[in-house]
Amino acid sequence: MTFETLNLNPAIAQAVAAAGYTEPTAVQAKAIPDAIAGHDLMVSAPTGTGKTAAFVLPALQRLGNAPAKAGRGPRVLVLTPTRELALQVTSAVATYSKGMRQVRTGTILGGMPYPKQRKLLDSPLDILVATPGRLIDFMEQGKVDFSRLELLVLDEADRMLDMGFIKPVEMIAAATPATRQTLLFSATLDGGIGQLGKRLLRNPKLIEIAAQKARHENIEQRLHYVDDGSHKSKLLDHFLRDVALDQAIVFTATKRGADRLASKLYEDGHAAAALHGDMNQSQRNRTLAKLRSGNVRVLVATDVAARGIDVKTISHVFNYDLPKAAEDYVHRIGRTGRAGLNGIAISFAAPDDGWQVRQIERYTGHSIAAHVVAGLEPKVPQRSSHKPAGRPAGRSFGKPGGKPGGYAGRAGAGTGAGAGSGRPAPGAPGRWNKPAGGPAASRGKPERSYSSFRGR
């Protein structure tokens, strides 16, 4: 199947071709025709499969027709759980609508000035992309007009459920016309998501793409057992000093943990910065811009903040702290291996983290081989099912997709500056030793907290 067979508006098809796409992904091939036909959809598909285009293209197709009702309010509303995803959707709309008449798109999210967004809502809109909390704020002020809304899209509905946004989502849906079409996209349709679909959608068609075990075949997954925080820190520093690593995302469990680790890496000479929910939008935008430009080589992030980041040069993902939920592991490692490239995902596990490792393996259907670094071996016993995968010393751990190799560098390397990697010591001249600016401070709240959805 090609995009030409989807009977898209010629202007949209041309924009898709100009972006370099010729064949739709599985989720696009199944969802786009049904969405254009007007059906409500419940779609389950893993990250990195092209879900954004699967709803953006039908939305633009709808805008090619005359509105059913005159007015200034949006005809399409897309709800996302995070600011990064909202900006990603807005960018996709701009990319695929280039050949159409002007598509007026607005983005409403936390961390940006209210006056500017209030002015935006007073202007005519075709598509509104928003996070639930900030949109509720404006709804309570009477600033949102849904009278001519035709299409409601719930993006990453499972994440909105995890973050406690389902009640706000239902409040927003209740304020939209009952005649609207609704598209729900999620990593899973089980449990609460299935119940939400029953409440908000009308006779939806179900589309499920790819089993969990088939995910991320282009990402090599590795496990390292660690004795304590110091051991973990030394291992991470060893890996980050390898010249074969392009850019990396290091995941931590908390915002405070992200700030502390980013500060330490920055002081050690790494071009590192933090990204989390306590940063305002301008700070987040600056950090992401530095990541995309290459001025930040190591991004230390929490799950929610990193959701939706699509940077092809992310060659490695590190689970500095293992995720509490197995599905978050899948989303984390999906930040590498983008656009058909290969990637490497390295997870650190303490002796008592075995249950989390087993949970991840059951969820993904993939056993994660344990590895060791010569000179940085764990002193504590490891569970028998994860015997260290020995590797000869003297080789770099390599670029994704390269020849299998150990992490050791020179025998006994790993704790000194640039040990076994050929990298300059911290502070010495070199491409990655130019600091990109200190990380922002935070209050250290858990990233998944949703004590209040205002300002999101």
What pLDDT does 62 receive?
Answer: 95
- Which residues neighbour 449 within 8 Å (Cβ) at sequence distance 6 or greater? none
Name the 3-class secondary structure at 369: strand
Residue whose C-alpha is closest to residue 166's, from 192, 140, 204 = 192
The residues, any chain, with a CB within 8 Å of residue 175's CB and separated by 6 or more, are 139, 144, 146
Position 426 confidence tier, pLDDT thresholds 50, 70, 90: very low
- Architecture category of domain 3-210 in CATH: 3-Layer(aba) Sandwich (3.40)
Backbone angles phi, psi at 315, to 5 degrees: -90, -20
Mean pLDDT of 271-291: 87
| Residues 6+ positions from 142 with CB-CB distance below 8 Å | none
Contact between 232 and 320 (Cβ < 8 Å): yes
Q: Using one digit for the tens of pLDDT, what is the confidence trace for 124-137?
A: 999 999 999 999 99
Backbone φ/ψ region at 436: left (φ over 0), alpha (ψ -120 to 50), beta: alpha
| Across 35-53, average pLDDT | 89
pTM of the model: 0.60
Q: What superfamily does domain 216-389 belong to in CATH? A: P-loop containing nucleotide triphosphate hydrolases (3.40.50.300)
In sequence order, what DSSP letters do the residues of 120-164 get, joined into one string? Answer: HHTS--SEEEE-HHHHHHHHHTT----TT--EEEETTHHHHHHTT
Answer whether 3-210 and 216-389 agree in fold. yes
Share of the chain above pLDDT 90, in %: 50
Residue 196 CA to residue 305 CA, distance in Å, equals 24
The strand pair at 127-130 and 151-154 is best described as: unpaired
Residues in the chain: 456
CB 241 within 8 A of CB 229: no
- The ranges assigned to domains in the chain are 3-210, 216-389
pLDDT for 438 equals 43
